[in-house]
Chains A and B, each alone.
Chain A
Amino acid sequence: MWFFSAEEKELQKVCRDFASRELAPFAEKHDHEESFNLSAFKKMGELGVLGITADPEYGGAGLGATAATIVMEEFGKACAGSTLSYLAHSILCVNNIQNNGSPEQKVKYLPKLISGEHIGCMGMSEPEYGSDAVGIQTKAKKTDDGFEINGTKMWITNAQYADVAYVYTRTGEERKNLSTFIVEKGTPGFHVGKPIHKMGMRSSPTGELVFDKARVNKSQLVGKEGDSIYHMMKNLDIERITIAGISLGIAQACVDQCVKYAMERKQFGKHIGNFQLIQKMIAEMATETEMMRTFLYSIAKEYDNGVRGPSVAAMVKLQIPKMATKIALDAIQLHGGYGYSREFPLERMMRDNKLNEIGAGTNEVMIMIIAKNLLKDMRD
């Protein structure tokens, strides 16, 4: 984009190289085996992107949402599953500790998370509380020296690999009385439940976090007791912007692959790129992708500049993944039988992208947020 800083342009190039070397060649294998590309994840630490938004004093890159979205797009082109794990680590865990943790908590957790020595995750959703996230029922009860946590967190990206979990709990009966804890692997009473098998994003591990009288020291409480709703909502904005970056990467990869194929594949004696039907599909998907790019990075840049219009993150999150699913479906269609086979990455991209219409708030919840904000002066 024309408004990228020199640093952001350099980041884009470095991430593109990294993705083509460390992610793309292994994406099909990890998708098929439903396994995590741990070695690539560790190398992201060396690359310096695991703490993309964190302060340099803790080893972070000190960049913003625009930079994080650039990483998502470039990684997302190659392997969306690995990128989702990267997002759960860098945005849901690291960025949350950076913004809401105490200086002691930052010193304790950030350096190892940013170097890649530790892996992070975040626990918000529960089996019965998905779209209705504020209703969560995992309870933290005060004890002499800390808290006792009981409950189950569901759909947790990186659950099986996480050393550190950033967990939202309920500390009071009032709906908004939520508190957050940093829970370490090995905490008594805390364990990881069964892995969740998914349609796509299969190279990104998903599991449950189970708290059965888990004891945490009060030093693990993030911020003040009962004030988590505010930072929960705030982090959802950057989560929604960056996850849309994965969908943008997928859409761009689909366009690139379609252009290549239309110039190679011959039917009825000529390259299929000569047919208007194919031209229409390619022209439309390229145009849509360009719209997605302009929209997404404009909002990301505004976010970095502190201009945070109401519900724009929800608008980005609603529109971009939805358009990317359509583009990926059309890309498969354009490739016919080959698109449907696992020889080409398109069917994986479509499966992967569908998650982005569900995770980090479903399309329907985005509609609810956008509409509620637009209609906020309505009396009845």
Chain B
Amino acid sequence: MMNELQLELKNQLNKFCLSKIEPHMEHDDETEEFRMSLFNELGSLGFCGMTIPEEYGGAGLTYTDSAIALEEIAKYSVAYAVTVSVSTMVQAIIYDFGNKSQKEKYLPKLTSGEEIGAFCLSESGAGSDAGSLKTTAKKVDGGYILNGNKMWITSGGIAKTYIVMARTGGEGSKGISSFIVRDGAPGLSFGKKEKKMGWRASPTREVIFENCFVPDDQRLLAEGEGFKVAMAALDKGRITIGAVAVGLAQRALEESVKYSLTRQQFNQAIFEFQGLQFMMADMACEIEASRLLVLEAAKFYDIGKPNQKIASFAKLKATDTAMKVTTDAVQILGGVGYTREYPLERFMRDAKVLQIVEGTNQVQRVVIARQLKKEFSKH
């Protein structure tokens, strides 16, 4: 059940997305175009820093509120929902782990939506195995020199503030530290823009550090505490990606029902065929189950008791559901579902990567299994 505020957020976003985002999505998916002005507008409505307290320009909302909002944006555009989600994750890192001056310096432009934040963890050789990353941060007088390449960076090139995980110590996760790097820093550049199957309006780019100097005051926490920062961020990312997946699946369901009620074959609306009714009933049921899991995971955050297992459940279930539902939705629309005249094929392409980002669904299972082992070893 949504409270009044949540209903209001949802309605406001629905109006905005329908009039401002929806009309561009087919075109921008084809041309791989991101519109900064749309992001700025989402910011001025208060949706780019939802979970950050008002003293830093945020909206001071809960994770539950933000899950509802992200679901609504994702109904129209996964690309913008993900941009918001990642930028918000960067803010949460700075808010949770930054010192007062770091918060004051970097948060306001992110919470307002004037700028975008990006999170640099993955490398070409370190994906699921994030602890093996190779980018180095060498201590020098007054700061660090960063060298290395980060891969698959959402908003790479359009973001102004980057959270970068780099190695300051020995091998393994304990040798990693985290840094705030601003666009324009000497030695920071961007590699090729990835050509992707989906999320095409959201740029994904390689971020390159070549003797990039980062001053001491841009390190978050102490040396060696970077992995903790990354993992805490991914825990939140699981909830937001889950919310995005629910929105995408919900939209695919709505399109399926609408279409099947109007399309006639064999002298009746195809909705009347039980084969399709069963598909749509399953879709609706799986979506609601996913939504409840996402909200449950968000609730744990909101009461200050983050639950990693539930967050992994939410990410795993919601994104697998989004993949299944969007695939079935293309199937229900048949030939037109396969064309770019309808958005269903885009939804299906956008769904696939949800099973890969913020920890692949294989990694989620590993996390869940690890928690199970822990729980049962206690007794």
Q: Which A residues have a C-beta under 8 Å from some C-beta of B?
A: 32, 125, 128-132, 135, 154-155, 196-200, 266-269, 277, 325, 329, 332-333, 336-337, 339-343, 347-348, 350-351, 354-355, 357-359, 362-364, 367-368
Contacts and interface: CB of A to CB of B under 8 A. Distances in A.
Interface stretch (B56-64, B161-169, B222-230, B336-344): B336-344
Contact of A351 (B197, B337, B339): B197
A342 B129 CA distance: 22
Given A329-B352, A342-B197, 15 more contacts: A129-B265, A131-B266, A131-B270, A199-B340, A267-B128, A268-B129, A269-B132, A332-B197, A332-B352, A333-B355, A336-B360, A343-B195, A347-B197, A351-B349, A364-B273
A155 B273 CA distance: 23
A350 B338 contact: no
Nearest to B357: A337
A136 to B, nearest CB: 12
Interface in B327-372: 327, 330-331, 334-335, 337-341, 345-346, 348-349, 352-353, 355-356, 360-362, 365-366
Contacts of B132: 267-269
A340 B194 CA distance: 10
Nearest to B265: A132
B342 to A, nearest CB: 10
Contacts of A32: 195
Given A131-B266, A267-B128, A198 B345 contact: yes
Given A130-B265, A340-B353, A367-B275, A267 B127 contact: yes
Contacts of A367: 275
Contacts of B346: 199
B265 A131 contact: yes
A227 to B, nearest CB: 23
B335 A154 contact: yes
A362 B332 CA distance: 9
Nearest to A154: B335
B237 to A, nearest CB: 15
Interface string B176-213: 00000000000000000011111000000000000000
A367 B338 CA distance: 20
30 contacts: A128-B264, A130-B335, A132-B265, A196-B341, A198-B339, A198-B340, A198-B345, A199-B340, A199-B345, A200-B345, A266-B125, A267-B132, A268-B129, A269-B132, A277-B366, A332-B197, A333-B356, A337-B122, A337-B151, A340-B198, A342-B196, A342-B197, A347-B196, A350-B197, A351-B197, A354-B348, A362-B331, A364-B273, A364-B276, A367-B275
A268 B355 CA distance: 20
A22 to B, nearest CB: 23
B275 A364 contact: yes
B152 interface: yes
Contacts of A131: 265-266, 270, 334
A334 B323 CA distance: 15
If over half of A's interface residues share one DSSP class (helix, strand or loop), that class is named, otherwise mixed; here it is mixed
Contact of B352 (A198, A269, A277, A340): A340
Interface string B255-292: 00000000011100010010110000000000000000
Contacts of B198: 340
Nearest to A348: B197
A199 B344 CA distance: 9
Interface residues of B, number: 45
A363 B360 CA distance: 30
Nearest to B130: A267
A131 B273 CA distance: 13
Contacts of B195: 32, 341-343
B195 to A, nearest CB: 4
A347 B198 CA distance: 9
A329 B319 CA distance: 13
A200 B196 CA distance: 14
A-B complex: 4 closest residue pairs judged by Cβ atoms: A199-B345, A347-B197, A267-B129, A342-B195
Contacts of B334: 130-131, 358, 362
Nearest to B171: A269
B362 A277 contact: yes
Q: Which of B127, B197, B327, B348 has the most CB of A within 10 A?
A: B197
Contacts of A358: 330-331, 334-335, 337-338
Contact of B339 (A130, A199, A343): A199
Q: Which of B341, B345, B365 has the most CB of A within 10 A?
A: B345
A355 B355 CA distance: 22
Contact of B340 (A130, A197, A339, A341): A197
A132 B334 CA distance: 12
Contacts of A350: 197, 352
Interface string B77-88: 000000000000
A199 B356 contact: no
A32 B345 CA distance: 16
B214 to A, nearest CB: 25
Contacts of A359: 335
Contact of A199 (B129, B194, B349, B366): B349
Nearest to A197: B340
Contacts of A277: 362, 365-366
Contacts of B349: 199, 347, 351
A199 B132 CA distance: 37
A135 B129 CA distance: 56
Contacts of B348: 199, 354
Nearest to B333: A358
B275 A336 contact: no
A219 to B, nearest CB: 32
A21 to B, nearest CB: 24
B46 to A, nearest CB: 32
Nearest to A367: B275
Contacts of A332: 197, 352, 356
A362 B273 CA distance: 14
